[in-house]
Every structure is written in C-alpha cells, then in structure tokens.
Amino acid sequence: MSGGGGSPSPYEGSDPLGDLGASGGPVPGVGNGRSGGTGDTAADGSAETACSALRFRAGLRSVNPDELALVQVGDVLLVKLFSADRPQIGAFRVTDDGTLAQQPVGVLLERVVNLLPCLSVLDFVADVEEIDGGSVTVIVRPAEAV
C-alpha cells in the first residue's frame, strides 16, 4: 500500500460507514455471472473476503446529465469497469428491461486503487445517497448475492 503511513487498510472493515444498511439490495435480473474462482484469488478466498469488506462514500465525477435525470436518491447503480478514452470505473443505471444503460451516470475516481482489483472478484453497486444539482454522492459496496 502506498502513501499516508499509518492509515488503516480499507480491507480491514475499518470504514467509518460500517454496516451501511443501505436500501436497495440486489438488482433484479442482474446476476454476477461468476461460477466460482477467477484464478486471481488465493486458494483460501482471502481476496474475496477482503473485497467483501470494502465500503465507502464517494462523489461521482463527469456526471452525465441525461442519465442523472433518470436517477433518484435510493436507486442502486451497478459499478463496472468500462473504457471510454481510457479504462474507468462507472456507476451505471439499470434500465427497465434489466440491461445496463449505454453511458454511466458518472465515474468513480475515489478509492480506485482499492476497488479495481476487487471488481475482478466481486460485483459492486453504488447506492445513490444524495443528489444536489449535478453533484451525486453514492455509497459503494459489494452487491449482495442473488
């Protein structure tokens, strides 16, 4: 881990948000598509265990106003790696027919170093906590098993 000596690891469950108990839960019709190990985890599942404790509050950047107009506080967005000009982590709206919107509502820039390796182990969601004009605050957490 680089930087800030002495700061607790985000994988130790020491996030001040703790158990957020956010409303929402799994998105109907969208599973994780994983059928076991990915080859990237230790035999004891330690990467998955560490990633399952990752929870944090973040602001979305590069917010798409057209997508934001379709989102409300309490909605659950799917967190996915995508490529525009460069690889980015986006928070995507699930459409009425259960597919992902073509464009993300916004992009996550906070805690990318922690989140990126976890996206290959677990699915993550972003609970929309606050919308203030074009400013969006979300709680990023592992998706619950369907």
Report how many domains make up the chain.
1
Which range marks the domain in which residue 112 is found? Answer: 55-146
Confidence band (pLDDT; 50, 70, 90) for 139?
very high
Q: Provide the CATH number for the domain around residue 131.
A: 3.30.70.2330
Token pair listed for 3 = 């930087």
Examine residue 146 and state whether it is found in any structural domain, yes or no: yes
Three-class secondary structure of residue 85 per DSSP = coil
Are 20 and 139 a contacting pair, CB within 8 Å?
Answer: yes
Q: Give the residue, 84 or 111, on which the prediction is more confident.
A: 111
The answer as to whether 118 is a domain residue is: yes
Flag whether 7 is in a domain: no
Please state, in angstroms and rounded to a whole number, the distance separating the CA atoms of residues 60 and 5.
27
- pLDDT on residue 2: 38
Nearest to 79 by CA among 38, 138, 33: 138
- Within a domain: residue 106? yes
With respect to residue 45, please indicate whether it lies within any of the assigned structural domains: no
Model pLDDT for residues 6-60, shown as the tens digit of each residue: 433 333 333 333 333 333 333 333 333 333 333 344 445 677 778 999 999 999 9
In this prediction, residue 145 has a pLDDT band, given cuts at 50, 70 and 90, of very low
